[in-house]
């Protein structure tokens, strides 16, 4: 029998980051069902750090993660982030949405500012003038090195004495006298008083193994693909640009390519998500209407599952009445940019400590992370 203080299920960014934080004073074993870590959502993201994105809890966690990305601890290969401003587009008729977004995010992100169509075109010359009524610029938005972040957490977890076992999908979870016993598909057994469920889209399924009621996770598929940049145009420093209504976004990748998305949200069971060509075609229509990107040839494409709770904010809490079963799920489309702060918050809650001071100072409370806040809400709100 392998005995630890904490078992973590899932080796995406959530699992490795909380494992790293907990391993500073506990023995930790992370169990991942795939043969490689970060195979699912973590390996498929758009790698953006956007402080104006998501609801209030997401923004508090994102802003609180910034200092970690700027000055990572020893053992992380930097830089973990580089500048990539964000331009939200308000198409004709959507200027009210842009103004509402500005009012909402300004208190936490004072650098955001409105831009008229002329300035928006100066900032991003691939835009079509007639598409746009008003823009919102987030000058401090960044691009993340997701692989360096994930690898840094993996290295740090191991250096702190943690174990990481791949090809170890948990298929059974039972609790006897305050001790959880996990059985993996290959028949290995592990014991610990605490299990952290960081299983992404599979979070409710892992809970079911433990006899714990689902929180109501909704995996929603999102598509990304690469096209060429406009000929002869220097695009490397142009901003990530997306419609405030969530119908598409585009981001330069190096000097010659664009990463594109229809910002789709198609319900899916937990799985190895695959691209539906119709989503790509829809994105190309929308992108051509708003920009001069021709997107004639799709160079590569992939899809991943963004997994949401009913109110689109993550849950980090012990399951009420179930000794030692801890949820760390529902990171949606923000799980990379929030990982450093969310891991510190989750580790504090696992230890029954107060929330980290910097996060609490931004208004986050333990109750905001608890599943009880959802009440009986089960269907996700639209974005």
* Collapsed DSSP state (helix, strand, coil) of residue 277: helix
- Count the neighbouring beta carbons within 10 Å of the beta carbon of residue 181: 16
Q: How far is the CB of 93 from ligand FAD (least distance, A)?
A: 27
Q: How far is the CB of 129 from ligand FAD (least distance, A)?
A: 27
Among residues 32 and 97, whose Cβ is nearest to ligand FAD? 32
| CA distances in angstroms from 48 to 3, 97, 252, 342, 369, listed in the order given | 38, 22, 12, 16, 23
Q: How far is the CB of 319 from ligand FAD (least distance, A)?
A: 16
Interatomic CA distance for residues 48 and 42, integer angstroms? 12
Q: How far is the CB of 118 from ligand FAD (least distance, A)?
A: 28
Among residues 219 and 324, whose Cβ is nearest to ligand FAD? 219
Please check whether residue 275 is in contact with residue 305, taking contact to mean a CB–CB distance below 8 angstroms.
no
Among residues 46 and 346, whose Cβ is nearest to ligand FAD? 46
Q: Which residues pair with 221 in a beta bridge?
A: 266, 305
Among residues 88 and 134, whose Cβ is nearest to ligand FAD? 88
Among residues 224 and 347, whose Cβ is nearest to ligand FAD? 224
Among residues 165 and 322, whose Cβ is nearest to ligand FAD? 165
Among residues 100 and 208, whose Cβ is nearest to ligand FAD? 208
The two counts, helices (H) then strands (E), for the chain are 9, 22
Among residues 159 and 167, whose Cβ is nearest to ligand FAD? 167
DSSP for 54-84 reads S-HHHHHHHHHHHHHHHSPPTTS-S--EEE-
Among residues 184 and 291, whose Cβ is nearest to ligand FAD? 184
Interatomic CA distance for residues 328 and 209, integer angstroms? 16
Q: How far is the CB of 242 from ligand FAD (least distance, A)?
A: 11
Q: How far is the CB of 236 from ligand FAD (least distance, A)?
A: 18
Residue of 37, 44, 242 lying closest to 153 (CA atoms): 37
Interatomic CA distance for residues 115 and 99, integer angstroms? 11
Q: How far is the CB of 259 from ligand FAD (least distance, A)?
A: 9
Contact residues toward ligand FAD (CB under 6 A) are 9-15, 31-34, 39-42, 44-48, 169-170, 198-202, 206, 222, 224, 304-306, 331-337
Interatomic CA distance for residues 265 and 94, integer angstroms? 21
Please check whether residue 197 is in contact with residue 350, taking contact to mean a CB–CB distance below 8 angstroms.
no
Interatomic CA distance for residues 199 and 315, integer angstroms? 12
Q: How far is the CB of 43 from ligand FAD (least distance, A)?
A: 7
Q: How far is the CB of 85 from ligand FAD (least distance, A)?
A: 14
- Count the neighbouring beta carbons within 10 Å of the beta carbon of residue 157: 27
Residue of 46, 47, 45, 39 lying closest to 271 (CA atoms): 39
Radius of gyration, alpha carbons of the chain: 21
Q: CB-based burial of residue 221 (10 Å sphere; 0-12 exposed, 13-18 middle, 19+ buried)?
A: buried
């Amino acid at each position: 029998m392998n005995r630890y203080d904490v078992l973590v299920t899932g080796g995406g960014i959530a699992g490795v980051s909380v494992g790293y934080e907990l391993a500073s004073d506990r023995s930790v074993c992370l169990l991942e069902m795939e043969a490689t870590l970060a195979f699912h959502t973590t390996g498929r993201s758009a790698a953006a750090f956007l402080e104006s994105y998501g609801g209030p809890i997401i923004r508090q966690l994102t802003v609180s993660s910034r200092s970690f990305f700027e000055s990572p601890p020893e053992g992380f290969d930097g830089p973990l982030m580089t500048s990539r401003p964000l331009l939200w587009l308000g198409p004709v008729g959507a200027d009210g949405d842009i103004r509402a977004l500005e009012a909402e995010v300004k208190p936490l992100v004072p650098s955001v500012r409105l831009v008229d169509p002329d300035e928006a075109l100066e900032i991003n010359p691939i835009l079509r003038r007639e598409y746009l009524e008003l823009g919102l610029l987030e000058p401090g938005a960044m691009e993340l090195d997701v692989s360096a972040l994930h690898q840094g957490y993996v290295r740090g977890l191991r250096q702190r004495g943690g174990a990481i076992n791949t090809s170890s999908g948990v298929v059974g979870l039972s609790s006897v006298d305050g001790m959880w016993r996990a059985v993996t598909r290959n028949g290995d057994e592990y014991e610990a008083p605490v299990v952290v469920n960081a299983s992404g889209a599979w979070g409710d399924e892992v809970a079911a193994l433990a006899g714990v009621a689902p929180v109501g996770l909704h995996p929603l598929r999102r598509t990304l693909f690469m096209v060429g940049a406009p000929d002869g145009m220097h695009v490397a420093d142009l901003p990530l640009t997306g419609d405030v209504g969530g119908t598409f976004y585009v981001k330069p990748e190096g000097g010659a390519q664009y990463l594109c998305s229809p910002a789709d949200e198609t319900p899916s069971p937990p799985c190895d998500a695959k691209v539906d060509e119709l989503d790509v075609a829809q994105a190309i229509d929308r992108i051509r209407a708003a920009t001069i990107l021709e997107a004639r040839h799709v160079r590569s494409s992939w899809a991943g599952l963004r997994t949401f709770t009913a109110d689109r904010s993550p849950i980090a809490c012990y399951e009420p009445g179930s000794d030692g079963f801890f949820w760390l799920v529902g990171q949606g489309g923000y799980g990379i940019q929030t990982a450093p702060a969310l891991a510190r918050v989750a580790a504090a809650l696992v230890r029954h400590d107060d929330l980290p001071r910097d996060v609490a100072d931004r208004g986050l409370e333990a109750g905001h992370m608890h599943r009880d806040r959802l009440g009986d809400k089960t269907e996700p709100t639209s974005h």
